[in-house]
């Protein structure tokens, strides 16, 4: 089997060759043994110029190979934030929603953060002053990092959500925010 030229040019960051192959009508959807296209490879490498070129030429923004990851998910896993952001927009514009399950999220807080007894706060448990509790994406609070386990509080109201957002600064970060945070910490190290 011949090596897919567009993929090979992408893997070596050869923007001029990628452009020439596109102009020569090379197949944008050619896949390697992993089921990855040139766009999947450019996403993982974080090559913004090649990603833009491939998208403008009509590359499939939601192609997933054998690993079932789209180019956006590949860029995200590689902490290629700028490329991931562009690919996320391309996925949304494609009208085809990739299968992504919701990721559970919680944030740890010292129980003292709730000492002001916010509106509606009624703890189901007596907690030590130095205890840590977990605020989950549905605004329930547990003594365990596992959602629904050792529930401390689950009488969620609009006032409670406001308390958590406004006073505690709680929000569920997007995958892009998490990748950007990782990237900035990695750069600082």
Domains of the chain: 5-94 (1.25.40.20), 106-167 (no CATH)
Residue 184: strand, helix, or coil:
helix
- Cα separation, 120 vs 127, in Å, equals 17
Report pTM: 0.65
Burial class (CB in 10 A: 0-12, 13-18, 19+), 96: exposed
Task: Tell me the per-residue pLDDT of 108-148, one tens digit each, with 9 for 90 and over.
Answer: 999 888 776 666 677 778 888 888 999 999 999 999 989 99
Task: Tell me the per-residue pLDDT of 40-53, one tens digit each, with 9 for 90 and over.
Answer: 999 999 999 999 99
Say how far residue 120 (Cα) sits from the centre of its chain: 33
- Cα separation, 105 vs 84, in Å, equals 21
Residue 5 CA: distances (Å) to CA of 18, 27, 49, 59 = 9, 9, 18, 15
């Amino acid at each position: 089997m011949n090596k897919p030229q567009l993929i090979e040019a992408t893997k070596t960051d050869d923007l001029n060759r990628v452009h020439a192959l596109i102009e020569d009508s090379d197949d944008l959807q050619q896949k390697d043994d992993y089921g990855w296209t040139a766009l999947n490879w450019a996403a993982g490498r974080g090559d913004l110029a090649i990603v833009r070129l491939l998208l403008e030429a009509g590359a499939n923004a939601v192609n997933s190979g054998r690993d079932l990851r789209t180019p956006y998910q590949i860029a995200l896993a590689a902490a290629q934030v700028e490329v991931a952001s562009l690919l996320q927009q391309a996925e949304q514009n494609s009208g085809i929603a990739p299968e992504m399950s919701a990721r559970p999220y919680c944030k740890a807080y010292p129980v003292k953060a709730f000492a002001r007894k916010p509106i509606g706060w009624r703890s189901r448990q007596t907690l030590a002053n130095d205890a840590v509790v977990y605020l989950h994406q549905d605004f329930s609070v547990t003594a365990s990092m596992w959602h629904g386990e050792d529930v401390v509080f689950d009488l969620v109201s609009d006032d409670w959500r406001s308390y958590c957002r406004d006073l505690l600064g709680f929000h569920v970060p997007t995958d892009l925010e998490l990748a950007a945070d990782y990237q900035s910490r990695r750069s600082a190290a």
